[in-house]
Structure 1
Amino acid sequence: MIRSVLTVSSGTLASRLLGFARDALTAALLGAGPVADAFLMAFQLINVIRRMLGEGALNAALVPTWMRLRDGSGPAAAAVFAGAALGTVSAALIALSVIAAVAMPLLMRLLAPGFVGSESLQLAVTNARLMLPYLAFAGPAAVMIGLMNARHRFAIPAFAPLTFNIALILVAAVLLLSHRDSHFAALAMAATVGAAGLLQLAALAAPVRRDNLASPLRVSFDGGMRDFARKAIPGMIANSGPQLLIVAGAIVASASPSAVAWLYFANRLIELPLGMVGVAIGTVLVPELSRAFNKSDTAALANAESRGLELAAGLALPATFGLIVLSEPIVRVLFEHGAFTAADTKATALALGCLALGLPAHILIKALSPAFFARGDTMTPLLAALKGITVAIVLAVICGWMFGVGGIAAAMALGAWSNAVILARSVAATFGFSIDAEARRRLPRIVLAALLMGGTLWLAVRSLPIMAGAHSIFQAALLAIVIVSGIAIYTLLLLLFRVIDRTNMRAALTRSGPGDLRA
């Protein structure tokens, strides 16, 4: 499983790094004013639906059903189901895009009440309508990703999203070099989103067609499809908890100038570790747990749950401490260019530090949810996510009024922890969460190693005050050295505490088996 997780994480890391490049260019193009707020609110709306469908979310319903049909009725029956899923999801997303285009003015008034009466409202409506064609491509792409993940082919699904960011980066670079004004740049970037979705779909279509994974292609509303939808829709919403939380925060923040942009750029930094760890664990754990559950293999269930929890803690905790300690240098290096000012850096860094407090909760949710998904239960994670969002909105209204964007970000973190606690209690009450002796031994040592690494980074930042006034290239190089040093220290601590050892890691990365990568 570790090899598969690393494959998915590598693709997600590459996509997130390109996403940072895209966002850095976007910040330089648009800054953090009304035009940026409008564009980023529209982009977040599209991005939430994109995340609901992709990045492992559809696996929650598609993978267990496909595997059950393949094992029980044969590959032909599984291909028929996949063809119906592909055709039906595609038709549904086309219809949703048309309805959303017509209703977008009302939808934006609900999502951004602070925009009403300002130029940002019409800009957001226009940008969102230009982005909507992406949804017609995102539906079939998500089904194809789920089918390849079900067959343990993680490489193409992991790296196909790179095409989305590459297209947006190229357009943003051209706009910067041509010195276009922010209004035109926002519209051009919005129109590119749909074309980028088509490129991503094209990268996935060939292997699915070659292996005849979805045939015949058809639209169906029979009992099987209705059952699939009943499981898929709650699962996709539950898996999109982090994105829905940030949209909830943006609804409250829309009343404050530039706050939507500050929250967006801060959240983009949270999504790097969340994507690498959370998406990878969710994508790989669902097939592993589904196989163990179908075979009633309690030992395999405990092993998958234990390794998933170890990976979640081992990667989430150092990322959390690192983002909190290095929040301002990271934001300054990545975004403080062009129209993005030093004041924007301080506000975004404050939001980042507060949002980072919720990162372990988000990844814990990703580690716990597959235990329900593998059993066909998508409603329990959904209800937990909705309760967390409710907590976040209530606290965001209160804390935002008292503390501004930092209060809203802190409310988002508390909403994530509320979701995680509710889900953990549901796991314990429903079927118990089995972790083995090795996990109980390793987890406290992982926490200690992460704390020591965070303390070391804090001391390093305090001893390097020159970073704030240095040339941007020097700042970037110094920040890279600090980050790499932190990773090295954390790895050495894990070795010292005997959480990992070189022999076992080498064996895990080279072992062949059902979780191996096939292109």
Structure 2
Amino acid sequence: MIRSVLTVSSGTLASRLLGFARDALTAALLGAGPVADAFLMAFQLINVIRRMLGEGALNAALVPAWMRVRDSEGLAAASAFAGAVLGTVSTTLIALAVIAGVAMPLLMTVLAPGFAGSESLQLAVTDARLMLPYLAFAGPVTVLMGLLNAQHRFAITAFSPLLFNVALILVITVLLLLHQDSHSAAIVMAATVGATGLLQLLVLAIPSRRDNLASPLRLSFDSGMRDFARKAVPGMIANSGPQLLIVAGAIIASVSPSAVAWLYFANRLIELPLGMVGVAIGTVLVPEMSRALNKGDGPALVHAESRGIELAAALALPATLGLIVLSEPIVRVLFEHGAFTAADTQATALALGCLGLGLPAHVLIKALSPAFFARGNTMTPLLAALKGIAVTIVLALVFGRLFGVGGIAVAVAAGAWSNAASLVRSVAATFGFSVDAEARRRLPRIVLAASLMGGLLWLAVRLLPAMPGAHGLLQAAMLVVLIAASIAIYGLLLLVFRVIGGSDIQAALMRSRVGDLRA
């Protein structure tokens, strides 16, 4: 399982790094004014749907259902079930895209009430409509990714999303070289988003068609499909909790100029560790736990749950502390270019530090949710996510008025912890904590190692001379050195505290199946 997690994490890391490059170019091109607010509000709408469908979300319902059909009725029946899911999901999303396009003015007014009566509203409607064709491709892409993941073919599904960012980076680079005005540039970028899904679909369709994973392709609303939908829809919404919390915060932030952009760029930095850890755990744990449950293998189930929680803690805690301590230099190096000003850096860094408080909760949610998904229970995570959204909106209304974008970011973090706390209570009440002795030994040591690393990083930042006017390359080099040193210190502390060892890493990699990396 470790090897599978590393494969998915590597692809997600590459996608996130390209996403940073895309967002840095977007900030330089659009800045943080009305045009950026409109574009990013529309982009968040599409991005939430993209995340809701992809990045492991559909695995919550598709993978267990596909495995049950395969094990009970054979591979041909599983392929027919997948073909029905593929045809039905694709048709449904095309219809929803058409309806959303017609109703977009009303929808955008609800999502961004602060845009009412301003230029930003019409800009956001136009941008969102141009992005909607992406939904027509997102359906089949998502189903094919889930089927390939179920067969341990994680590499192609992990790296195919890179095409989304590569296409946008190329387009934005051309727009910057042509010195295109922000209004026209936003329209071109929105149209590019609408077309990028086709690239990913073409890449995934080749191996899927070769292996006949979904055939025959058909539209179905029979009892089996309705049962699948009842489990899939709540699971997809629950798995998109982090993105929905940000949208909830953006609804409140839309009343303040540039606040939507500040919140968006700050959240993009949160999504790097969340994507690497959360998506990888969600993508790999669901198949692992489903197999263990289907076979009645209790020890394998406990092992999967324990390793998932360990990985979540070991990667989320140092990332949280690092983002909080280095919030301002990270934002300055990545985004303070072109139309993105020093004042934008200050506001975005404040939002980043506050959002970072919720990162461990987000990752904990990703580690706990598969325990429900693998058992076919998607309603419990959904209710927990909806509660978190409600908490975010209520607190954002209060904190946003008192503290601005920082208050809204705190509200988002509080919503994440509310979601996580609900899941913890449900896990304890439903089937108890399945954590083995090794995890109980390692977890406190992981917390201690992360805390020491964070304290040393804080001291290093305070002792280093401030260089606000230094060249961007020098600032970037210093930031890289600090991050690399922090990673090295943290790894050393894990070794000293005997959380990990060289022999453990080698054994984990050797035990993993070579098939995990099949493309």
TM-score by length of 2: 0.99
Identity value in percent: 81
Deviation string 1:359-411 (CA, Å, 9 cap, x unpaired) is 00000000000000000000000000000110010000000000000000000
Cross-structure match for 2:350: 350
* Letter aligned with residue 489 of structure 2: I
Cross-structure match for 2:309: 309
Cross-structure match for 1:29: 29
Cross-structure match for 1:54: 54
Cross-structure match for 1:12: 12
Q: Post-superposition shift, 1:515?
A: 7.0
Q: Post-superposition shift, 1:197?
A: 1.1
TM-score by length of 1: 0.99
Deviation string 1:409-428 (CA, Å, 9 cap, x unpaired) is 00000000000000110011
Deviation string 1:110-131 (CA, Å, 9 cap, x unpaired) is 0000000110000000000000
Q: Post-superposition shift, 1:322?
A: 0.2
Cross-structure match for 2:470: 470
Cross-structure match for 1:459: 459
* Letter aligned with residue 10 of structure 2: S
Deviation string 1:21-58 (CA, Å, 9 cap, x unpaired) is 00000000000000000000000000000000000000
Q: Secondary structure at the match of 2:460?
A: helix
Cross-structure match for 2:392: 392
Map 1:320-339 to 2 at 5 A: 320-339=320-339
Aligned equivalents of 1:159 and 1:446: distance in 2? 30
Deviation string 1:289-317 (CA, Å, 9 cap, x unpaired) is 00111111111111000000000000000
Aligned equivalents of 1:43 and 1:510: distance in 2? 42
Gaps of at least 5 residues in structure 1 are: none
Cross-structure match for 1:179: 179
* Letter aligned with residue 354 of structure 1: C
Cross-structure match for 1:117: 117
Cross-structure match for 2:491: 491
Q: Post-superposition shift, 1:465?
A: 3.1
Does residue 238 of structure 2 align to residue 249 of structure 1? no
Q: Post-superposition shift, 1:468?
A: 2.3
Does residue 197 of structure 2 align to residue 209 of structure 1? no
Does residue 129 of structure 2 align to residue 129 of structure 1? yes
CA contact (8 A) 1:2 1:509 kept: yes
Cross-structure match for 2:233: 233
Q: Secondary structure at the match of 2:468?
A: helix
Q: Secondary structure at the match of 1:84?
A: helix
Cross-structure match for 1:81: 81
Cross-structure match for 1:423: 423
* Letter aligned with residue 463 of structure 1: L
Aligned equivalents of 1:26 and 1:316: distance in 2? 27
CA contact (8 A) 1:3 1:515 kept: no
Q: Post-superposition shift, 1:514?
A: 8.2
Aligned equivalents of 2:417 and 2:336: distance in 1? 31
Cross-structure match for 2:289: 289
CA RMSD of aligned residues (A): 0.8
* Letter aligned with residue 15 of structure 2: S
Aligned equivalents of 1:235 and 1:429: distance in 2? 20
* Letter aligned with residue 482 of structure 2: V
CA contact (8 A) 2:3 2:512 kept: no
Aligned equivalents of 2:329 and 2:319: distance in 1? 15
Aligned equivalents of 1:94 and 1:176: distance in 2? 33
Task: Report the more deviating stretch, 484-493 or 193-202.
Answer: 193-202
Aligned equivalents of 2:58 and 2:312: distance in 1? 20
Q: Secondary structure at the match of 2:117?
A: coil
* Letter aligned with residue 264 of structure 1: Y
Gaps of at least 5 residues in structure 2 are: none
Cross-structure match for 1:192: 192
Does residue 168 of structure 2 align to residue 164 of structure 1? no
CA contact (8 A) 2:2 2:512 kept: no
Aligned equivalents of 2:493 and 2:472: distance in 1? 31
Aligned equivalents of 2:143 and 2:510: distance in 1? 29
* Letter aligned with residue 29 of structure 2: L
CA contact (8 A) 2:39 2:127 kept: yes
Aligned equivalents of 1:86 and 1:196: distance in 2? 19
Aligned equivalents of 1:261 and 1:516: distance in 2? 39
Aligned equivalents of 1:463 and 1:176: distance in 2? 38
Deviation string 1:83-108 (CA, Å, 9 cap, x unpaired) is 00000000001000000000000000
CA contact (8 A) 1:53 1:236 kept: yes
CA contact (8 A) 1:384 1:422 kept: yes
* Letter aligned with residue 297 of structure 1: D
Aligned equivalents of 2:147 and 2:468: distance in 1? 48
Count of aligned pairs between the two proteins: 519
